[in-house]
Structure 1
């Protein structure tokens, strides 16, 4: 029997469990599952921890054992119905004798979808759409990747209260506090790729690495073509991507060191002898085809991109509608002049504003972290 308030409570717990896998499951989704016994008591819980590992349903069912028979399973994403590195979760639920399955979000991947239909065809009661918005939010990177065929983009910047990211002489270290910078490294480490433009590489010579310590996934193998993998000590390492249309990256640049894999995205007509893993892309009047970049990265199983660097590249991403989330670290300081955080973004009049919605406002040391998303999100189902 459906009880909306009870269903929402257990699904909220499943969403919380799914969040535990964030940063470790790519290119797979984050998923959480709660299994109740026939009496309605929690018998098992689980989440998908790393790609190739057991799915959330399998973990929760193993914990529940025989208590799952006649019970209910709450899962944040439709149970898969295919055999990949693991077997189909729909089959595992059927074998466990679960009587009812509650699903938050349908699986958009045609290779894995169909679990709900299989369960129904075997007499299992299926309810869908419970706490869908919360489940979408926790899995937004993968859902964008699966639905749009491109990497999900988080644009991060740090600025003063008056929106300046550097002083008039170009200095920018450090606008924000050590606490804010540590939080940035945590967010970097959860991404599959860190992207910056050639202007940032030439001006700052950054390494574009993450230094937060071990991530949730420590056994993910390296993949081909600069796919993020395991680095020193088993730590998962995001791939570094330099957007460099004319191949101006110096061979001595720190972004080309051996601390992480690196892709240099250049125009398909660029003449270069640069010794690096080059990704050739079409050139447009205002730079490289960024949508093609994100599609190529997705083909390399890069689900999430953390966009850093200067205002020019950020403006290009915003102008083309390719920013899915904005993370701003704002310091209680004023400059009055200097570089703005965002460059030309295609806005000619006030009616063309890029409208966002705040989702989180949090103190980080003396600073404030703001998280916002476009008011109309192309990677989210209506």
Structure 2
């Protein structure tokens, strides 16, 4: 066995797993490679990524792809194989039956039905197991799934586009802060997340679609949520008009749910309690998670962004900073490059034309 290839193959497995991010419902997008090692190096005999909708799992797909070639192979899996019976048998058992000789995983599964049981099942069957290879990278990719398992809420990404002098925009005007490359990257982020959230103020000011409009990725638009305490989402907005195509959910006070005039437009509703003149955000996130949503991008409104930061419900910050100033700006950003809490650590930075993206993760 040539262990020198482990890092390259797990890195490839992680890249493969990202293909279905945001498309696997409540299940995580997992990658699996089945590999034989010969004198001329490794040969991939089977591969799988969690299917759209969450079933079948990546291991099952890779095994079916490999057939008899799975016997004696090494399985690289980005998450510990499941150990519980659901609508299908456990993936750990499937690997055992397939005859793999070794399993390398990136991280353990925190699901209380798994949480080490998958690894133990493999070990009890005499299969060599190794875990923790690229754990940090896998944990980042699976952050939405982990958040639902451990916090009972989605992983929250706060996305902001800020001018060089710290403004989000100008009241009453639609202003493009960032350039084309940054906007394209934002659409790519939408394609990889389960859902997106804005406040009613953003809907009234900008009338956004909140869909992914990149060629080839238009069918990967996230579910759309709107915070609207009094249920006054404009009937003529683009969100309402497209609710039957891409789901829209109105989050409002229970007082306005039964009288919601948007129901026949396809808009669905979540009711929430009012706390300190605002919607109870933690309760809102629990309700969103209960619908199978693992990742949520908060994209619109200074007030909404401030509310999530104040409630300490932000897990990741995606800060797009433009080189241009906004001298007439009157909507200050709650965050700038110099005002990031020590709770967050810089993970990566990327130049996008004249703009710069910096991403911070909760420490």
TM-score range, shorter chain: 0.7 to 0.9
* 3-state DSSP of counterpart to 2:360: strand
SS at match of 1:20: helix
Per-residue CA distance 1:263-289 (angstroms, 9 max, x = gap): 111123448733232211111104111
Q: Which residue of structure 2 lines up, in the alignment, with residue 341 of structure 1?
A: 333
- Distance in 2, matches of 1:296 and 1:213, equals 32
Structure 2 gap segments, 5+ residues each:
263-267
Q: Give me the whole-angstrom Cα distance separating, in 1, the residues matched to 2:257 and 2:192.
A: 34
Correspondence list, 1:229-268, <5 A = 235-258=219-242, 259-268=245-254
Match of 2:33 in 1: 34
Contact 1:105 1:136 in 2 (8 A): yes
Aligned-partner SS, 2:8: helix
Taking the TM superposition and a 5 Å limit, the aligned residue runs for 1:157-306 are 157-167=160-170, 169-215=171-217, 235-258=219-242, 259-270=245-256, 273-276=259-262, 277-306=268-297
- Provide closer, same or farther for how the CA distance between residues 202 and 52 of structure 1 changes in structure 2, counting only shifts above 3 A: closer
- Alpha-carbon distance in 2 for matches of 1:261, 1:23: 14
SS of the residue aligned with 2:17? helix
Pick the aligned partner of 1:138 from 141, 159, 178.
141
Q: 2: CA distance between counterparts of 1:43 and 1:189?
A: 28
Counterpart check, 1:320 vs 2:323: no
- Structure 2: distance between partners of 1:353 and 1:253: 35
Q: Which runs of 5+ in 1 are unaligned?
A: 216-232, 344-349, 377-382
Aligned to 1:67: 69
Q: Cα distance, 1:37 vs. partner?
A: 2.4
Matches of 1:368 and 1:353, distance apart in 2: 19
Runs of 4+ with deviation above 6 angstroms: none
Deviates more, 1:197-206 or 1:303-312: 197-206
1:20–1:49 contact (8 Å) kept in structure 2 = no
The worse-fitting range, judged by mean Cα deviation, of 39-48 and 126-135 is 39-48
CA distance in 1, matches of 2:175, 2:241: 22
* 3-state SS of paired residue (2:160): strand
SS at match of 2:149: helix
Q: How many Å separate the matches in 2 of 1:354 and 1:323?
A: 13
The 1-side partners of 2:224 and 2:22 are apart by 16
CA RMSD of aligned residues (A): 2.5
Q: Deviations over 1:103-145 (max 9, x none)?
A: 2211112345522121122221222222211111122122212
1:148 and 1:274 map into 2 onto residues whose CA distance is 31
* CA displacement, residues 333-381 of structure 1 (integer Å, 9 cap, x when unaligned): 11244211228xxxxxx9x94542222221223222222212x2xxxxx
SS at match of 2:100: coil
Quick one: which of 81, 98, 101 aligns to 1:99?
A: 101
Could you tell me how far apart the structure 1 residues matched to 2:43 and 2:61 are? 14
Structure 1's 52 and 356: CA in aligned 2 closer, same or farther, altered over 3 A?
Answer: closer
SS of residue in 2 equivalent to 1:308: strand
Q: Does 1:150 align with 2:153?
A: yes
| Aligned equivalent of 2:20 | 21
TM-score (norm 1): 0.83
What's the TM-score, normalizing by structure 2?
0.87
- For residues 244 and 171 of structure 1, what CA distance do their matches in structure 2 show? 21
Measure the CA separation in 2 of the matches of 1:247 and 1:324. Answer: 28
Mapped partners of 1:87, 1:123: distance in 2:
19
Name the SS for the 1:127 alignment partner: strand
Q: Counterparts of 1:141 and 1:271 in 2: how far apart (Å)?
A: 28
**Matched length:** 348
